[in-house]
Chain A
Amino acid sequence: MTSEVVAEIEAQVSQLRAAGQVPPGLEDELDRCFEDVAEVSLAAVGKAMSGVSGPGADPIAGSAGPMSLAQLRKQATTAARRLLGPSFRRLERRGALGVARLGEAASIRAHVTADHLERLAARSPWASRVLSAARPGEAAMSAAGTTHPSIEGPLLAWVLERLSAAPPEEAREVPGLVLHAECGDGRVVEALAARGLDARGADPRSPVRADGDTRIVAAGALEYLGATLSGTLDGLLLTGVVDRLRPGEGRALAQLAARCLAPGGVVVLVSARPEAVVAMDPVAADLAHGRPLHPVTWCHLLARYGLSVLATFEPDPSEPDVFAVSAQRLVPAMLGGKDHA
């Protein structure tokens, strides 16, 4: 019955079109209108998420002078958008994304390479002379909007203790290298350095330090670890980033952590408990499915990539919604014989 009704409705639509009762171009206009607002919304939400906003954020819009090159470019782009519609906008967006990703990857690789070279220089006076000016300048990032992981009190003491115990003291020729990924303003980095460790920090919103301290670089955890040589970190502290990973990045992060750690190296992961997030925002419990990850998921992931879970931070009255776990890349001597495996 309904198929007959649908056929009648389709015939009615044809009649309405033939009789001119459907405004010409109405549907195309609706499609164009939605595509236009979609572009605006995607750009607006993207900007809000990257923390770039306010006057001066768009270099083209901010330029002065009648019909400057930038304005000409803008007008040409607008005309192309109108003529070519959504396909041009898609191409444009992909192009911009690709260029941004290439630039970001190159910048991070330069920073990480410089880090490795500096450590080489610390071991060798010859290398030190060669590399005297090797470190690139820090990327200028907005100081506003930098978040600081809340690691204080008993949790801070626990974290410092785990990371300080990372590599056996007698095995070190130079201070152990410890990275705090998503380090905020670097307070934990300073606390680690005060314990004699070669502490470094990476944070995508890292401000340029007024005191010239270049131990903290502007980079995301995944990007920084992706560009880090295998087996070079004695300690790794992961905070912040673990609470807002994109799907699939949990396992990528665990895999990268395992790869970057030297034998005996320790990773400490501090995260919000998912139950706390669910209680605050039920939406996060639905399609978002499991971000932040459950503590057992982190243990599963770390173990999956060959790390041995050492200890977990038990909920403290001062930090009821936080959990932490430490895991170690076992040195060959700790693995034992395999004849009965």
Chain B
Amino acid sequence: MRTRPVRIDQVIPSIVERDAVSHHTLEAQCVLHSMGFVSEIYACSMGPGLAGRVHPLSELPRERSERQWVCYQASIGSPAADAVASHPGLKLVDYHNISPFELIERWMPHLGGEVRLGRRQLAELAPVVALGFADSEFNRVELEEVGYRHTMVAPLMVDTANFYSPPDPRVVDRLEAARGLGGHDWLFVGQMLPHKAHHDVIKALACARKMFDPETRLHLVGRESCPAYADALRRFVSALGLTTAVEFVGSISPGELSAYYASSDVLVCCSEHEGFCVPLLEAMHHKLPVVAYGVAAVPETLLDAGIVLPSKSPVLVATAVQRLLTDHQLHDSLVSAGLRRTRSFTVEGARRAFAQAIEQVLQAASECR
């Protein structure tokens, strides 16, 4: 017989500020508090500024009690998963996806091992978890595939601070000056990691410049998290003679990011794997139309608010962008659809969905009495 828990704690491998999963976890804590539960966050490692809000994993209460539940935020391999597996209370998993190792291992062998471990731990947790919730249908299906019996979608509680930052005027001025000389501006936002496939966007750019507009430019925003891949991209750009056409922007402030969204013509995404893809949402919010390769959770995030391609053949991507830039009716309809889509991703809505997930487990638990 189960009773309503007094506390629902969360466990996360590592937590830092300005990270999507970390922000989601902090938001989830607020939701749990608002539902009347005691709820603390326990992490293997934590970034600066979170002391007091987050506790070390060793302090996770482990009394054998039906009134103490634990929710694991799964995104990578970690000893935290083992701590959750051996926890005596009812267990929940909130799954944010783990990139397939085959997309990473060649470039980052160490991270390849970590994602392998993460997927193994996710499967090992399946028999002991009461409910697995995921931030997209794509992720939910993955949970089912590894043996989770009860699953549901609870959207990511996105940090919308980036959405409303005013564009940095200096960046806007610089980009607009370049635009004054002609040519269109493509944008891609995402960490420079191999599975984000920046190289495929560069291939499409090369085709676009040969076939349609030799003045087209590309801005790659995002921190360089894989030195070998970043090095290869620079060599690739140089080998193609595109050094003046491709800008490696790196990690930037929310105001600078807003400026790039405001001063670009299209967001081009050829990513091989996305569990959700927040930049798609940001682009739609900034009225920037999207051309994307339809893989993993990308079609689900975009729905009809972007051109979702069945392959990322460089010629196909270049032609799709050209169509978007020359068909004003299509452009405007996608911008409108994008704005509608972003409205369905409010933080309030995501909070409600998370609360509903918890209520569902509570309901199921009470029926066990």
Contacts and interface: CB of A to CB of B under 8 A. Distances in A.
A279 interface: yes
Contacts of A248: 77, 113-114, 116-117
Nearest to A254: B79
Interface string A279-299: 100110111111001111101
B64 interface: no
A5 B324 CA distance: 10
Contacts of A275: 45-48
A290 B115 CA distance: 13
A101 interface: no
A282 B14 CA distance: 13
B1 to A, nearest CB: 28
A99 interface: no
Contacts of A126: none
A307 to B, nearest CB: 15
B62 interface: no
Interface in A298-316: 299-301, 304
A16 B319 CA distance: 9
A27 B307 contact: no
A9 interface: yes
Nearest to A287: B225
A341 interface: no
A8 B46 CA distance: 50
Contacts of B315: 13, 16-17, 22, 26-27
Contacts of A209: none
B79 A251 contact: yes
A140 B92 CA distance: 53
Nearest to A249: B113
Contact of B207 (A10, A27, A296, A300): A27
Contacts, number: 173
A12 B114 CA distance: 43
Contacts of A30: 203, 206-207, 240, 314
A23 interface: yes
Nearest to A279: B48
Contacts of B109: 246
Interface in B162-218: 191, 193, 199, 203, 206-207, 210-211
A279 to B, nearest CB: 6
A191 interface: no
A40 interface: yes
B314 A247 contact: no
Interface stretch (B129-137, B231-239, B265-273, B359-367): B231-239
A16 B77 CA distance: 47
Interface string B78-89: 110011000000
A289 B225 contact: no
A46 B235 CA distance: 16
Contact of B19 (A31, A36, A286): A286
Contact of B191 (A1, A278, A282, A286): A286
- Interface size range of chain B in the complex: 35 or more
A24 to B, nearest CB: 11
A41 B229 contact: yes
Interface in B62-108: 75-79, 82-83, 106-107
Contact of B78 (A22, A36, A290, A299): A290
B45 A274 contact: yes
A23 B207 CA distance: 9
A40 B235 contact: yes
Contacts of A37: 232, 235-236, 239
Interface in A1-55: 1-2, 5-6, 8-10, 12-13, 16-17, 21-23, 26-27, 30-31, 33-34, 36-38, 40-42, 44-46
A204 interface: no
A250 interface: yes
Nearest to A251: B79
Contact of B308 (A2, A44, A250, A304): A2
Contacts of B106: 42
B317 to A, nearest CB: 10
B308 to A, nearest CB: 6
A22 B79 CA distance: 52
A27 B236 contact: no
B323 to A, nearest CB: 5
Contacts of B110: 246-247
Given A294-B45, A297-B57, A247 B113 contact: yes
Given A285-B19, A290-B13, A299-B58, 4 more contacts: A34-B203, A42-B232, A285-B16, A289-B78
Interface of A: 1-2, 5-6, 8-10, 12-13, 16-17, 21-23, 26-27, 30-31, 33-34, 36-38, 40-42, 44-46, 246-251, 274-275, 278-279, 282-283, 285-290, 293-297, 299-301, 304
The 3 A-B pairs at the shortest CB distance, nearest first, are namely: A247-B114, A41-B232, A246-B110
9 contacts: A22-B207, A37-B232, A42-B228, A44-B231, A45-B231, A247-B111, A274-B46, A275-B47, A296-B57
